[in-house]
Amino acid sequence: MSVTYDTTGLRGGRVQTFGITGLFRTCWSALGEWRKRQALQATLHGLSDAELMDIGTTRGEIDYVAANRSTDPRGNLSAQ
21-77 residue pLDDT tens: 888 999 999 999 999 999 999 999 999 999 999 988 899 999 988 888 777 656 655
Beta partners for residue 3, in sequence order: 16
**Higher per-residue pLDDT: 13 or 44:** 44
Beta partners for residue 4, in sequence order: 15
- Strand (E) or helix (H) holding 28: helix 19-45
Contact assessment for residue 13 and residue 6, using Cβ atoms and an 8 Å cutoff: yes
23-33 residue pLDDT tens: 899 999 999 99
